[in-house]
Structure 1
């Protein structure tokens, strides 16, 4: 009796899992060994180079500040010298704790002796300065310069040997990695060959009915929800076929429910919110001067929040329709310049209140085939975002250009910019970039998602990039 599909798959996957587990454990062991060795060696050699640089910097800082102090007698310069001196000695202690070869140890000891001699001479000179007696400053200067010259030469030699030590380390790492790689390659090739053979044997027994299910899945993705999948196959796949047909029936029901929900949402939410907004406006007008400042402010807040909720509901409905493929686009020849002018006119009160200047680089005639209302919604959204993120007294730049059969639109702000990790995700719904002053730019996270849906529905693409002068530049291109 043939094994059921479940048993076949279980046995096949069990064997594959055991193979993968073996390879994983062996690889982990090999990689951990290489990783630990590599990490220790690279860390040690990297610290050697860092120590050499810090020794050089602190030595030059000490020399610079002690020379200035001898001339100017400024206590602040002496303090800077002591700081540099302390840094130099700390780095010497750090270097002494690293794993180094005998040549480096010898050079390090020489550097320490030379620096001690340099410090001793300066302390002696410092005593003469503090006692305010005359001394042979030129002789002290010559001695210090000679020691500094030798120290610089030793530090350069230390740097050269450190790099040679790093090269030797890398060669040793490469040798160890090659051995581990050869071993892993042989084991992996065997496991892959065995896995492919096992997969072919199992797949041949079930691939045909699953191909039929795949074909039906593609039909569903195109909107065909008819439950007409008929497969004569083993019991497991026959059950799957029945469940698939039931799923199609349920999807048709949900599709109908979604259409009803859009209609109900539009009426049940937008109508009362509009009534609240209009009612608050009428109440302010009817009360006139009898209303107190606090009452007026509360009514204004009610009106503003009602408008915000109406816009939120509209955005949710639009986005839901776009995702469901239920939004109809009425395409016509449109001059995008007129849409930009309209969006700027609508934003003029906010531009004046924020004292934001608009710089335009717009072609005289940019006619494309598009849905005017939806493209206006996109432009309005991008300009609104640019105004919101640009500081008071700043500037936004709007430009259009034709290139390679496409119209490119961009709006540039002077805001904080979009971190690189958010430049793709920011166009997903409910996604917002993490900014330093996030509360100042709080939104719903729907606007850019709608922008992306509308532009892609027109056969274009939308993206964000950093502006040259700071801030962000939001762009979209449409075929024309």
Structure 2
């Protein structure tokens, strides 16, 4: 299922749940509104009329008594008649309401009692002589009280029925509200749960392919074009992985073509260049005949250019050999201080030509930590020729980019613990290695390397565009070869800004690389030759036959 389809389906489910919850809430609101309307339309009016009836019955009682006791006052009789008419009208209004069965029965009972009252007491009001005999007066008054009390009880029954219905409706409304609250919470929790479930499903379906794509992009950016992403499924990320693999395959094909081209061209150039060098050397030795001073100077310049071109071709062949089948290491115990001093002696003509001072320091303390982790500079298991090539490349770069009359500082130090701090990428490359380490530093006073280029300079053919090409500047392979040599020995190389603004290269190499310990148990006994396979020896090692 496509990712967009999953997202749309998840949103549809959430929307359906919210619509269902909303519909239930609307139904609940309508139900509560119906209860409220019925209460306000019927119950309140019935209660008001019932209370009014109770008051009117008391008026009937009062003025009936006064009319019988004081028949000479005709005003009492009129008031008596008015109160009776009010009771009759309000009973009719009450009976006309849409009442519940219990209330209707109570109202019917009150109506019957009122009819009985009218049939018994009303004729007295019509008589010409209202006052009965003294012995009958009290009986009449008692009868009026009895009938009015019965009516009052009936009205109170109506009020009680009304109140009971109101209480019942209030309970119903409370239950409806409580149920609505529960449904709302349930809908909210269900929506949250579904939302989290959808997020987890989407995360699991997207994060893994994205991590693999990120890792694959990093591999391609670092030049490992053989990397492929797993494919499968019908999602957009699967299609992207397939396109990525096609792109990587094409880049791998182009890279192989470039390697073959560089290797073949380098081999083809090596023969004619050797012939040119030999011819120039014969001419400089004046074997064919004497040379003028100008001719000798021009031939010396030609020989210098030929030697530089020969170095470039050697670097091209070296990087092709490393990438093609592995880096062969002839391991042995190497004294780093002695090796550095030998390299300094070899390049001394170049440094003297630019009036450069090369300062070699065997450090007695660790400036990074300064906490006693320094140790003696011990021999390390390494290929002396490769290590010499590494130091030569770093020192050659420093000479090439240092202004005249400046100082190049080389520091050699043995560490019994990890130096701090270390860049994250350096720590990742040293994963699995153990102290002790050799720390080699080469610092110059040149223009330095901008921060955005400090990782790229270790890639092949990488050059920093500074506007002016420097004399003797190569094709950008020396540092790439140096990184391969360092990583083949289980170490890491990086660059930072020097104390004077120049480039400060640091090389950290374990005394014995992890893969060498795994290939031959025991760090004190090493084979004569190890073949390092894969890029920078990261794939392991085996003893060569």
Shorter-chain TM-score category?
0.3 to 0.5
TM-score, reference length from structure 2: 0.42
TM-score, reference length from structure 1: 0.47
